[in-house]
């Protein structure tokens, strides 16, 4: 007989934009091999988003979470990163349960604008000005990654840095189109505020997804 959670897992489908194997290009786990599950659907509306095709969930096929986990199992890395879009639009417990059942670790990348669901081994919160994260989510972050688009974003980042736990890793990342302009400012800022680190989108330098 199926347990209630097993029954729930088998009944859940989520809109899948893409599932692929690559290198984590950003933040604390930068440079590590990982499987990515990119879910469709987002209402945050970042003007500089480079995956705007993920915004409309209806444009992506539904897939059972168990099938996603079976696809993840094909790749050797222990890390599976769930991203979007904005994945917290959905109840993610069935997905994380399925991923754990095949022996992989669950990492979440989110703007945290909805209550966090699921069983996560690592949570990266990247707050956005376009739609604020829920404050109750901030203490759950293992990693805070703030995108720096202009000079005022440093002060904005500090406000969120006060909301996370003392163990949370703090990263500042230049927005890709403003990187040459912002990166020198990031270097000087981190030299003065060494509790922060610089994150770069190395997958774009490497020309990989």
Closest-CA residue to 85 (of 125, 119, 45):
45
Q: pLDDT at position 148, please?
A: 95
pLDDT mean over 90-102: 98
Task: Name the average pLDDT for the chain.
Answer: 92
User: Does 1 score more than 80 pLDDT?
Assistant: no
* Domain range annotation of the chain: 4-205
pLDDT, one tens digit per residue, over 160-179 is 999 999 999 999 999 988 88
* Level-2 CATH architecture, domain 4-205: Alpha-Beta Barrel (3.20)
pLDDT, one tens digit per residue, over 28-59 is 999 999 999 999 999 998 887 878 888 999 99
pLDDT mean over 77-99: 97
Q: Could you say which DSSP state residue 174 is in? A: E
pLDDT mean over 121-148: 95
pLDDT mean over 86-91: 97
Q: pLDDT at position 2, please?
A: 43
User: Does 123 score more than 60 pLDDT?
Assistant: yes
pLDDT mean over 116-131: 95
């Amino acid at each position: 007989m199926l347990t209630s959670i097993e029954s729930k897992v088998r009944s859940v489908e989520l809109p899948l934009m893409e599932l692929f194997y690559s290198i984590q290009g950003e933040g604390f786990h930068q440079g590590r091999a990982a499987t990515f599950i990119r879910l469709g659907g987002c209402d945050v509306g970042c003007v500089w988003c480079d995956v705007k095709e993920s915004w409309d969930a209806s444009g992506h096929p539904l897939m059972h979470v168990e099938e996603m986990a079976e696809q993840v199992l094909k790749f050797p890395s222990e890390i599976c990163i769930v991203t979007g879009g904005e994945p917290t639009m959905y109840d993610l417990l069935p997905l994380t349960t399925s991923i754990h059942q095949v022996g992989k670790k669950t990492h979440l990348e989110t703007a945290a604008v909805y209550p966090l669901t699921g069983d996560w081994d690592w949570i990266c919160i990247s707050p956005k000005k376009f739609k604020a994260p829920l404050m109750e989510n901030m203490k759950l972050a293992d990693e805070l990654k703030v995108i720096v688009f202009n000079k005022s974003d440093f002060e904005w980042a500090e406000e969120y840095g006060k909301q996370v736990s003392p163990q949370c890793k703090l990263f500042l990342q230049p927005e890709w189109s403003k990187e040459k302009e912002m990166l020198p400012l990031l270097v000087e800022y981190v030299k003065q505020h060494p509790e922060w680190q610089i994150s770069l989108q190395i997958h774009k330098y490497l020309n990989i997804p």
